[in-house]
């Protein structure tokens, strides 16, 4: 048997050297595809161009707020020479809206486009990724090298510090005494000897909560606007309590039984004195015989020797009565709520009330967004608080039960930095000078 020998020469002979000249289904396809695809593409391009203008060059749909500018790429993509550039300068954004710097002490300024991502469709432009912040806050540096804040924050549930007012050693700086425990007791003595159960919004009232339940219109005027607001007004922060609106109907400021329920104005001691001198002066003018009455200081005046004082004339009578009234007010009435310090004059000084309206100055909070929750589920310590100095705000653990980025993040409320913080220092914002026409914004 002849052995088959496989040499390269023999093998070469088997190959048909004219193969490319003969038709083959694959090659036919390749030819037609290479002709038709560009033709179709060009056709699509021309029709799109005719119908849809510039958006065919775009790398993706614009965000919801900017979608209206889709025909005018140059509003963002413009160089100084007026040519198209894929890079967008901060200046282009700033012609339409100011966005002030974050902090003067920051060591560099990221471009707008690194945080506000475009061409990704109708997403919320403000929903910036955490890395936009942690690129600095993960290892915070400042120009002067002395950061004032915690320097290594990598996520709300990752090394984010406890809120400043809740760190150890911090106290409520408020200067008005208030015992929450006492006021939240059932059967508290209310106005006109009625028993009441106060609730948080009796003293912490968002605008439009309705008429105050305790007291008369005299000490607690319900303004027309308050009564006519049908829907609870949007209120992120609650206003601080005021004496006239929230205390006066139970804590009255009577000064002398001759005047029944009449009260001194809730004001500085100097003004209270002017009032007292005037009222006693009027009284003695109307009742001249009263000068010779022997007035025993009232039993309710604390720590005062009960020596009868006989006035020699009307002006001395007024002076004695003003003295008595002031003793009552400053040893008892006003002192219940205020710290009073003696001064070089005969009148004490009332400590500043100093009630804080906004506690977390470096973050945003919104009671309205949380209105489905009970007050004490966050302010847990309030019902047992007996001292003004107690800080009653919830700490970070309370928030982290809902606001998270780790763990089952999909079952959480938004936990990224932008939910609670501002980046831009909006206090420095300048108004935008609008000058563009509809035509310039929309294209043909
Ligand atoms: C509201 C402003 C805005 C408008 C209008 C806009 N773009 Fe952009 N575009 C951007 C931003 C921001 C970037 C990211 C640029 C950067 O990284 O510097 C970008 C990037 C691009 C890129 C580069 C590829 C990429 O994804 O980074 C292309 C191409 C582009 N845009 C095309 C267009 C076209 C075409 C239009 C008009 C249909 C348009 N853009 C309209 C803001 C805009
Ligand atoms: C042609 C004008 C124009 C240009 C250019 C422009 N914007 Fe806007 N931008 C608007 C208008 C209009 C709104 C919606 C009204 C508003 O919030 O002021 C808006 C809103 C925004 C918002 C708020 C979005 C939200 O979800 O509430 C952000 C963030 C923003 N722009 C960032 C940018 C950035 C970054 C650039 C540059 C890449 C840019 N804009 C360029 C006109 C412009
Ligand atoms: C370019 C660096 C840089 C970036 C990016 C940055 N920060 Fe800051 N941030 C700083 C500096 C610097 C300070 C001031 C530090 C100081 O004075 O000690 C600061 C301070 C703060 C403070 C505390 C003071 C204040 O203003 O309330 C908060 C909160 C804050 N940044 C949040 C953010 C958030 C949220 C982001 C992302 C959207 C962000 N930062 C992005 C550099 C940066
Ligand atoms: C759920 C709300 C929330 C989220 C999300 C959040 N923070 Fe905060 N952050 C706060 C509150 C509240 C404070 C306390 C502010 C104060 O004490 O005035 C605070 C304080 C800060 C401070 C000041 C710290 C200091 O030393 O006093 C910085 C800086 C800060 N946050 C950065 C960030 C960064 C960066 C992110 C994202 C990684 C982030 N925060 C996410 C609520 C939040
Ligand atoms: C009798 C009126 C009154 C009632 C009722 C009342 N508060 Fe207050 N609350 C005040 C006054 C006055 C202050 C300011 C003095 C102070 O800081 O303690 C205050 C302060 C606060 C503060 C901020 C001060 C801090 O230290 O954190 C919180 C939070 C608060 N109250 C929550 C509540 C909650 C929650 C309830 C209901 C469970 C409630 N309050 C019921 C009068 C009241
Ligand atoms: C509904 C009636 C009512 C209102 C409104 C009210 N209080 Fe009182 N308050 C009382 C009563 C009753 C007591 C006495 C409780 C006791 O000693 O058992 C009291 C006691 C006090 C005390 C002494 C507490 C202590 O430590 O023994 C202070 C201080 C005080 N109130 C402040 C205020 C302030 C400030 C407001 C307004 C923000 C206010 N109260 C609103 C009824 C009220
Ligand atoms: C039941 C508690 C209570 C009594 C009693 C009371 N006040 Fe006040 N006072 C308040 C509250 C609450 C504030 C802060 C809110 C406001 O101004 O209404 C305040 C504020 C003041 C202020 C302003 C302090 C500042 O911040 O500069 C003066 C002054 C003052 N009171 C004087 C008096 C005088 C004088 C008396 C007695 C005649 C008196 N108060 C009785 C609760 C009381
Ligand atoms: C989700 C938790 C949460 C709930 C629910 C909540 N608060 Fe607050 N509250 C806060 C935080 C956080 C602050 C600090 C905000 C600031 O001043 O920066 C605050 C602050 C306050 C203050 C001080 C003044 C202010 O607005 O900053 C009062 C008063 C107060 N809350 C009362 C209430 C009352 C009344 C309710 C129920 C109607 C309530 N809170 C429900 C978290 C909560
Ligand atoms: C029971 C869950 C829950 C708790 C606890 C909670 N939040 Fe929220 N928070 C929400 C929900 C739900 C929203 C609205 C939807 C969203 O933005 O994800 C919201 C919204 C917010 C917003 C945005 C408000 C706006 O402008 O719309 C801030 C800021 C915020 N929370 C801060 C806090 C802080 C600070 C705490 C802790 C004191 C806290 N939250 C505790 C559920 C919670
Ligand atoms: C480090 C990330 C970051 C950079 C860089 C940045 N922004 Fe923002 N921007 C934010 C965040 C977070 C918000 C939402 C919170 C706030 O209002 O500060 C925001 C909000 C805005 C808003 C919305 C204001 C509104 O209506 O509520 C505009 C407009 C805006 N930025 C424009 C710009 C422009 C223009 C630049 C460049 C000059 C820029 N941003 C740079 C993170 C950034």
334 lines ligand 7 (CB under 6 A): yes
- Reported as a pLDDT band with limits 50, 70 and 90, residue 222 is very low
Residues with CB under 6 A from ligand 2: 65-66, 69, 75-76, 88, 92-93, 96-97, 112-113, 116, 118, 124-126, 441
pLDDT of residue 221: 33
Atom of ligand 10 nearest to the CA of 133: 1
Radius of gyration for the chain, computed over Cα atoms and rounded to the nearest angstrom: 39
Q: Is 383 exposed, middle or buried (0-12, 13-18, 19+ CB in 10 A)?
A: middle
Q: How far is the CA of 116 from the centre of ligand 3 (A)?
A: 17
Mean pLDDT, range 335-351, rounded to an integer? 95
Q: Decide: 421 and 134 in contact? Cβ < 8 Å.
A: no
Query: pLDDT value at position 12?
Result: 56
CB 383, CB 181: distance < 8 Å: yes
Non-local (6+) Cβ contacts of 197 within 8 A are 186, 187, 188
306 pLDDT above the threshold of 80: no
- Kindly state the average pLDDT of the residues 261-271: 96
Residues whose CB is less than 8 angstroms from the CB of residue 391 and which lie 6 or more positions away in sequence, other chains included: 165, 166, 170, 171, 172
Q: State the distance from the centre of ligand 6 to the C-alpha of 169, rounded, in angstroms.
A: 27
| pLDDT at 33 > cutoff 80 | no
Tell me the CA–centroid distance for residue 368 and ligand 5, in Å: 18
Euclidean distance between CA atoms 301 and 306, whole angstroms:
9
Token representation of residue 78: 């413009």
Q: What percent of the chain has pLDDT over 90?
A: 59
Q: Supply the residue whose CA is at minimum distance from atom 6 of ligand 3.
A: 133
Q: What is the pLDDT of residue 334?
A: 97
Contact 108, 90 (CB under 8 A): no
Residues in the chain: 444
| pLDDT of 229 strictly over 50 | no
Position in ligand 8 atom list of the atom nearest CA 241:
29
Q: What is the spatial distance between Cα 204 and Cα 196, in angstroms, rounded to a whole number?
A: 17
Residue 5 has pLDDT above 70, yes or no: no
Enter the tokens of residue 431. Answer: 């108004």
Ligand 8: atom nearest CA of 377 is 5
Let me know: does 211 contact 223? Beta carbons within 8 Å: no
Among residues of the chain, what percentage have pLDDT more than 70? 80
In terms of pLDDT, which residue wins out, 232 or 211?
A: 211
Check if 177 has its Cβ closer than 6 Å to any atom of ligand 6: yes
Residue 226: pLDDT band (50, 70, 90) is very low
Average pLDDT over the chain, rounded to whole? 85
Handedness of CA 53, 55, 61, 67 (dihedral sign): negative
Dump pLDDT digits (tens) for 53-78.
555 566 789 999 999 999 899 999 98
- CB of 404 within 6 A of ligand 4: the answer is no
pLDDT band at 298 (very low <50, low <70, confident <90, very high): low
pLDDT of residue 193: 83
Highest mean pLDDT among 10-14, 50-54, 335-339, 402-406 belongs to 335-339
Q: Answer positive or negative: Cα dihedral of 160, 166, 170, 176.
A: positive
Cβ within 8 Å of residue 89, ≥6 positions away: 78
* Nearest to 226, CA basis, from 244, 208, 213: 208
As a whole number of Å, the end-to-end CA separation of the chain is: 86
216 has pLDDT over 70:
no
Shortest CA distance to 393 belongs to which of 360, 418, 420?
360
pLDDT computed for residue 200 by the predictor: 92
């Amino acid at each position: 048997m002849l052995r088959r020998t496989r040499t390269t020469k023999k093998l070469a002979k088997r190959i048909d050297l004219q193969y490319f000249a003969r038709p083959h289904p694959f090659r036919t396809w390749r030819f037609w595809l290479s002709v038709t695809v560009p033709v179709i593409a060009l056709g699509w391009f021309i029709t799109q161009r005719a119908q849809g203008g510039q958006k065919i060059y775009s790398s993706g749909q614009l965000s919801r707020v900017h979608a209206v500018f889709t025909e005018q790429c140059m509003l963002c993509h413009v160089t100084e020479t007026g040519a198209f550039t894929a890079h967008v300068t901060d200046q282009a954004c700033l012609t339409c809206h100011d966005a002030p710097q974050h902090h003067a002490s920051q060591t560099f300024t990221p471009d707008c486009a690194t945080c506000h991502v475009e061409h990704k469709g109708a997403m919320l432009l403000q929903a910036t990724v955490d890395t936009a912040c942690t690129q600095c806050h993960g290892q915070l540096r400042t120009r002067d090298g002395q950061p004032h804040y915690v320097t290594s924050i990598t996520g709300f549930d990752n090394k984010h510090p406890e809120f400043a007012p809740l760190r150890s050693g911090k106290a409520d700086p408020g200067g008005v005494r208030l015992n929450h425990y006492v006021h939240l007791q059932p059967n508290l003595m209310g106005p006109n000897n009625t028993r009441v159960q106060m609730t948080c919004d009796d003293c912490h009232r968002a605008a439009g909560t309705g008429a105050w339940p305790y007291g008369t219109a005299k000490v607690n005027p319900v303004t027309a606007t308050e009564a006519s607001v049908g829907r609870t007004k949007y209120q992120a922060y609650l206003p601080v309590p005021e004496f006239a609106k929230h205390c006066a109907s139970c804590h009255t400021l009577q000064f002398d039984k001759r005047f029944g329920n009449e009260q001194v104005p809730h004001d500085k001691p100097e003004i209270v004195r002017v009032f007292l001198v005037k009222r006693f002066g009027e009284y003695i003018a109307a009742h001249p015989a009263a000068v010779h009455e022997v007035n025993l200081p009232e039993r309710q005046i604390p720590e005062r020797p009960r020596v009868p004082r006989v006035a020699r004339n009307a002006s001395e009578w007024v002076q004695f009565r003003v003295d008595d009234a002031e003793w009552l007010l400053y040893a008892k009435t006003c002192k219940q709520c205020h710290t009073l310090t003696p001064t070089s004059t005969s009148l004490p000084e009332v400590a500043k009330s100093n009630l804080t309206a906004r506690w977390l100055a470096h973050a945003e909070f919104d009671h309205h967004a949380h209105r489905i929750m009970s007050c004490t589920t966050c302010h847990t310590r309030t019902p047992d608080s007996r001292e003004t100095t107690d800080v009653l705000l919830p700490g970070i653990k309370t928030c982290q039960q809902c606001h998270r980025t780790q763990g089952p993040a999909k079952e959480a409320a938004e936990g990224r930095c932008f939910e609670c913080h501002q980046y831009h220092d909006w206090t420095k914002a300048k108004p935008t000078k609008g000058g563009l026409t509809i035509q310039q914004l929309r294209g043909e």
